[in-house]
């Protein structure tokens, strides 16, 4: 069963892309360097005056716009650059043990922080999928994972965990030769972080990303536009207080495919969002909260960005040199 999975995506927390996913799979490690589980966060927010906003644009989508905090978060392309450099270093390391290996070529994610933040927003999408997420593999031929032998698997290792330590049980030698602590993946991670950076978004930036969103949902201006949206939905025979209530209606998750009722509800949702400008108001208000939170935490964020930039500079030099 494919339940609805819409709504705000979790901000990226750790180095993730095709390379680390493939390495984790072939190394038999489900939660190594690519783990992306977000830590539980408090829902209690300290009081904050609603920040001022200027003119509110009419928006039906924001996937072509960036939130202020994105300047301090690693982008999908930057994660790809880090993964590509990690692949180069891991390939060099494995070949140094006399084994034939080439790391998979990573691809950048096609989504951003704003791609699905206020979903659903596309009529063509909901007409086909309702509140269900589109199946990205629909119509594709089944693929196969790259074949990696046991020797390569052992030399690659499982990389470093979130605590910076190699996974327990990782091989320490190969045919009498000492392996890097944690294997070649861990060695690549350490080299990339030699001048700073961790391959993951700084907690302070992730925190602003979450907090700005949470505060915006409680802001009087957003609450008011939700009320307008709710009135529009009621005119069409749907009773929901907020867009989130419609999105999380348990009836949608009980079915593998969208019903006619779900599609009708999601279509009304998108049309009412456009009619009362939910997306324009919400994005503008959330951006204002982020700007204030960034102002308050600028020294920490500046330090985090400098660390990310240092790691990206190392990655660029590694990729330029090649294997």
Which residue, chain included where needed, has tokens 């994105």?
Answer: 70
Q: How far apart are CA 315 and CA 162, in angstroms?
A: 20
**10: in domain:** no
C-alpha angle 201-204-208 in degrees, rounded to nearest 5: 100
Tell me what pLDDT residue 137 has: 57
**Structure tokens given for 317:** 């030099």
**294: in domain:** yes
Q: 10-residue block means of pLDDT along the chain (323 residues)?
A: 33 32 29 30 80 96 95 96 97 98 93 92 96 72 70 95 87 96 97 94 96 97 98 98 97 95 98 98 98 98 97 98 91
**75: in domain:** yes
Tell me what pLDDT residue 146 has: 65
**55: in domain:** no
**133: in domain:** no
3-class DSSP state of 41: coil
CA of 266: how far to CAs of 103, 107, 119, 193, 258, in Å?
Answer: 42, 31, 10, 45, 10
Question: Where in the sequence is the domain holding 315, given as residue range(s)?
Answer: 18-29+66-115+149-321
**Across the chain, where does the E strand assignment appear?**
173-174, 177-178
Q: Which residues does 302 contact at the CB level (< 8 Å), separation at least 6?
A: none
**246: in domain:** yes
The total of structural domains in the chain comes to 1
Q: How far apart are CA 245 and CA 260, in angstroms?
A: 18
Element (H, E) at 61: none
Q: How far apart are CA 114 and CA 3, in angstroms?
A: 21
Q: How far apart are CA 312 and CA 38, in angstroms?
A: 23
Tell me what pLDDT residue 7 has: 39
**107: in domain:** yes
Q: How far apart are CA 217 and CA 117, in angstroms?
A: 12
**Structure tokens given for 14:** 């750790």
**297: in domain:** yes
């Amino acid at each position: 069963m494919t339940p609805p999975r819409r709504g705000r995506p979790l901000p990226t927390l750790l180095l993730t892309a095709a390379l680390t996913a493939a390495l984790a799979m072939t190394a038999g490690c489900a939660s190594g360097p690519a783990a992306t589980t977000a830590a539980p966060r408090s829902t209690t927010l300290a009081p904050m005056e609603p920040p001022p906003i200027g003119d509110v644009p009419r928006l039906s989508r924001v996937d072509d716009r960036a939130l202020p905090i994105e300047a301090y978060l690693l982008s999908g392309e930057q994660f790809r650059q880090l993964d590509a450099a990690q692949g180069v270093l891991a390939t060099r390391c494995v070949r140094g043990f006399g084994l034939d290996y080439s790391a998979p070529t990573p691809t950048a994610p096609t989504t951003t922080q704003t791609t699905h933040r206020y979903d659903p927003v596309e009529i063509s999408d909901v007409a086909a999928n309702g509140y269900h997420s589109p199946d990205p593999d629909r119509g594709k031929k089944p693929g196969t994972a790259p074949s990696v032998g046991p020797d390569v698997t052992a030399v690659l290792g499982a990389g470093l965990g979130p605590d910076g330590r190699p996974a327990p049980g990782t091989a320490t030698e190969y045919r009498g030769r000492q392996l890097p602590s944690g294997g070649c993946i861990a060695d690549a991670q350490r080299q990339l972080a030699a001048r700073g950076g961790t391959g993951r978004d700084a907690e302070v930036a992730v925190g602003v990303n979450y907090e700005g969103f949470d505060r915006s949902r409680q802001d009087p201006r957003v609450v008011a536009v939700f009320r307008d949206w709710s009135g529009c939905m009621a005119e069409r025979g749907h009773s929901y207080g907020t867009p989130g209530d419609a999105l999380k209606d348990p009836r949608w998750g009980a079915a593998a495919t969208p019903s006619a009722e779900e599609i009708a509800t999601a279509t009304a949702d998108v049309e009412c969002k456009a009619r009362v400008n939910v997306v324009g108001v919400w994005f503008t208000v959330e951006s204002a909260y982020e700007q204030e939170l960034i102002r308050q935490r600028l020294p920490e964020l500046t330090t985090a960005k400098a660390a990310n930039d240092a790691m990206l500079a190392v990655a660029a030099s590694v990729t330029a040199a090649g294997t």
